[in-house]
Amino acid sequence: MKTWILSAIASIGILTLQSCGGNNNTSQPPATANGATKSVPVSGEEVYKRTCANCHQLDGKGIAKTFPPLAQSDFLKQKESAIAQVLHGKNGDLVVNGEHYNNIMPPQILSDDEVAAVITYVYSQWGNTPQTITADEVKAIRAQKQ
């Protein structure tokens, strides 16, 4: 019985990791005639739907006691923390809007442009204070972890 329970828990953990940001998109932006890559606009909404909505829901309200809300989230008051959370993930206790959450958010496998776009999108939705996040800000936070 214990083996079955441990196996079930492990399976749920793997499914959670796969559904929360399991994006292994390694495609490169299109190249120009001289071989340089050209910038392709990134849709924060599309990145959100692809990597965040499974846990935080399409309406940003999260899942009670499991995944914290992004809608009207006090966690977003510190944009550096929001960027770091997406880049590096989180394991353990997290307090959002006075509620405790103790779960795993894996690091998201996203480019700096995608991270900037998705966080900018979240800031523009669900009663949050609009802010623009740049790829340079993401790059700076990413460099701090190394």
CA distance 78 to 71: 15
Q: Please give the pLDDT value at position 28.
A: 43
Give 93's strand partners. Answer: 102
User: Please, what is the Cα angle at 110 between 104 and 114, to 5 degrees?
Assistant: 120
| pLDDT band at 41; cut points 50, 70, 90 | confident
Res. 110: pLDDT tops 60 = yes
pLDDT at 6: 40
Choosing among 3.90.1580.10, 1.10.760.10, 1.10.246.90, 3.30.300.10, the CATH entry for 2-23+43-145 is 1.10.760.10
Q: Is 94 helix (H, G, I), strand (E, B) or coil?
A: strand
- The answer to which of 26-30, 77-81, 114-118, 124-128 has the lowest mean pLDDT is 26-30
Pairing of strands 90-96, 99-105: antiparallel
The pTM for the full model equals 0.73
